Amino acid sequence: MADSALKQQLTADMKSAMKSGDKSRLAVIRSILAAIKQIEVDERIELDDARVNAVLDKMSKQRRESISQFDKAGRSDLVAVEQAELDIIQTYLPEALSDDEIAELIEQAIQKTGATDMKQMGQVMGMLKPQLQGRADMGQVSQQIKSRLGA
C-alpha cells in the first residue's frame, strides 16, 4: 500500500523545516510522524489519510486540553508553547466545519438512524465520526447530539 498523501506532505515539510532551521516546527512534525510510525509498527499496517487525520485530531485535542489546564494554573509560558504546537498540527487537518454545517450533518445522521433518545446516540456518533474526524470538536458534537436527543 502506498504512503498517504498527508504522510508524504509531513515528510516533505520536515525536510523543509530542517533546511530552514525552524526547530519548533521540526519538533512538532517529528512528533506527528513518530505517533504515526508507532501505530504502524504496533498494528503492522500502513496508515491511510483517514487514520493520519485521526492521529492529528487526537494530538490537537491533547494540546487543547493541555492549554486549558495550563491556563487554569496560570502558566502562560506553557500555554504559548502548546498553542504554537496546536497551530502547526492544525495546518495538516482538513478545514473545520461551521456550526451550521455540523448541525446539518447531525440532523441528517439522526434522520438516517431514526434515533429518538439517548440509547441511540452511539449509532448517531458512529455515523458522524468518519465525516467529522479532524473537522470538528467531537466533544462539542456529542453535546449537540445530547441536546438534540433530549438528554
Q: Are residues 17 and 72 in the same domain?
A: yes
Looking at residues 76-97, what average pLDDT do you find? 93
Arithmetic mean of pLDDT over the chain = 90
3-state secondary structure of 42: helix
Query: Which helix (H) or strand (E) element contains residue 69?
Result: helix 49-72
pLDDT surpasses 80 at 2: no
Q: Are residues 23 and 67 in the same domain?
A: yes
Q: Are residues 43 and 106 in the same domain?
A: no
CATH number at residue 140: 1.10.10.410
Looking at residues 125-135, what average pLDDT do you find? 84
Question: What is the pLDDT, as a whole number, of residue 65?
Answer: 94
pLDDT tens profile 6-46: 999 999 999 999 999 999 999 999 999 999 999 999 999 99
pLDDT surpasses 90 at 122: no
Question: What is the pLDDT, as a whole number, of residue 73?
Answer: 95
Question: What is the pLDDT, as a whole number, of residue 1?
Answer: 41
Domain count along the chain: 2
- Domain residues for the domain of 122 are 99-148
- Between 83 and 3, the more confident residue is 83
Confidence of residue 137 (pLDDT cuts 50, 70, 90): confident
CATH number at residue 14: 1.10.1510.10
DSSP symbols for 7-38: HHHHHHHHHHHHHHT-HHHHHHHHHHHHHHHH
Cα-Cα-Cα-Cα dihedral sign, residues 139, 145, 148, 151: negative
Among the listed residues 41, 133, 26, 130, the one whose alpha carbon sits nearest the alpha carbon of residue 10: 26
